[in-house]
């Protein structure tokens, strides 16, 4: 599809920029593990999967990944499979570039005064802290990128197939349904590559953590369904009915 309308161009840039920004941020904040129960102020939910009992200790990145998949569905609706694929490949390239720059910066010789500059705040070695936070392991990076790409391919494929069945009706079914399927795959692929292959974790431990991650993503995906309708409303208002309908029609046939 040729993007030759100024409103369409601006819409694609805004959606694409938000999509890429969320994916990049999710990658870098993913090193933090947080307690969902403690954050909500509730008691720990010790749930057992595959003989492994644990609570919802999640990476901070899972807060933003559902947003990325919602953006995927909105972009898919208006710009089709090609639009999503273009942004997905561009995002992977930019994330890889970002990590390359991070590793380059880690290997720069730090100033002696900077190393001790955080001592009063409980950080005696700023270089070690910088390396620990930003220097994610290679297997984690590979696992995350592979899972992201597979998740995107599955999401866009399921979305388009459901749209052929539902037409313009049941936005919730194709958007939420494709997200639930793609995030199920994404949840396990990243853990399998990063920790089963990369770190030698026990398979049942990986599966148990994956299930807890997916339960969280499942709930969030359902909860964000109204956001999809809200996004459609604002975009349709911005484009106007005729242009919006034409864009969605071209997206379905591309």
Residue 148 burial class via C-beta count within 10 angstroms: exposed 0-12, middle 13-18, buried 19 and up? buried
Find how far residue 188's CA is from the centre of its chain: 14
Residues forming beta bridges with residue 131, ordered by sequence position: none
Domains of the chain: 6-105+125-253 (1.10.1760)
> In this predicted structure, what is the pLDDT of residue 3?
46
Q: Which residue has the tokens 């972009």?
A: 75
Task: Give the per-residue pLDDT at 98.
Answer: 92
**Per-residue b/e over 24-51, b at no fewer than 16 CB within 10 Å?**
bbbbbbbbeeeebeeeeeeeeeeeebee
Ramachandran assignment for 108, one of left (phi > 0), alpha (psi -120 to 50 degrees), beta (any other)? beta
- For residue 133, the model assigns a pLDDT of 84
pTM beyond 0.75: the answer is yes
Whether the CB-CB separation of 172 and 229 falls below 8 Å is answered with yes
Q: What confidence score (pLDDT) does residue 4 get?
A: 52
> Is residue 1 a contact partner of residue 22, using CB atoms and an 8 Å limit?
no
Question: Residue 233 class from Cβ within 10 Å (0-12 exposed, 13-18 middle, 19+ buried)?
Answer: exposed
Extract long-range pairs of 106-115: CB within 8 Å, 24+ residues apart.
Answer: 106/130, 106/131, 106/134, 106/135
List, run by run, the mean pLDDT of 10-residue segments along the chain (254 residues).
69 93 89 87 84 82 84 90 92 93 92 90 90 82 90 89 80 84 88 86 87 88 88 90 87 72
Shortest CA distance to 71 belongs to which of 211, 213, 251, 231?
231
Find where tokens 């391919």 sit. 153
Q: From residue 89, give the alpha-carbon distance in Å to each of 94, 162, 173, 253.
A: 9, 23, 26, 21
CB-count burial class (<10 Å; 0-12, 13-18, 19+) for 87: buried
């Amino acid at each position: 599809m040729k993007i030759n309308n100024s409103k369409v161009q601006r819409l694609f840039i805004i959606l694409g920029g938000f999509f890429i920004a969320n994916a990049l941020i999710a990658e870098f904040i993913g090193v933090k593990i947080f307690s969902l129960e403690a954050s909500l102020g509730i008691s720990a939910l010790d749930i057992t999967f595959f003989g492994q009992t644990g609570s919802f200790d999640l990476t901070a990145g899972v807060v933003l990944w559902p947003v990325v998949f919602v953006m995927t569905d909105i972009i898919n609706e208006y710009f089709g499979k090609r639009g999503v694929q273009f942004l997905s490949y561009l995002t992977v390239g930019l994330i890889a570039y970002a990590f390359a720059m991070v590793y380059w910066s880690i290997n720069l010789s730090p100033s002696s005064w900077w190393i001790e500059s955080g001592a009063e705040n409980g950080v005696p070695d700023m270089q070690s802290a910088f390396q620990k936070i930003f220097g994610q392991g290679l297997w984690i990076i590979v696992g995350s990128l592979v899972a992201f790409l597979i998740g995107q391919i599955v999401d866009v494929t399921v979305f388009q197939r459901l749209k052929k069945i539902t037409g313009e009706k049941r936005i919730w079914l194709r958007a939420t349904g494709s997200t639930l399927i793609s995030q199920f795959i994404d949840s396990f692929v990243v853990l399998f590559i990063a920790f089963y292959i990369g770190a030698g974790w026990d398979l049942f431990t990986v599966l148990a953590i994956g299930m807890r991650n997916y339960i969280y993503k499942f709930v969030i995906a359902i909860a964000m369904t109204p956001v999809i309708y809200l996004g459609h409303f604002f975009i349709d208002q911005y484009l106007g009915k005729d242009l919006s309908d034409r864009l969605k029609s071209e997206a379905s046939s591309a």
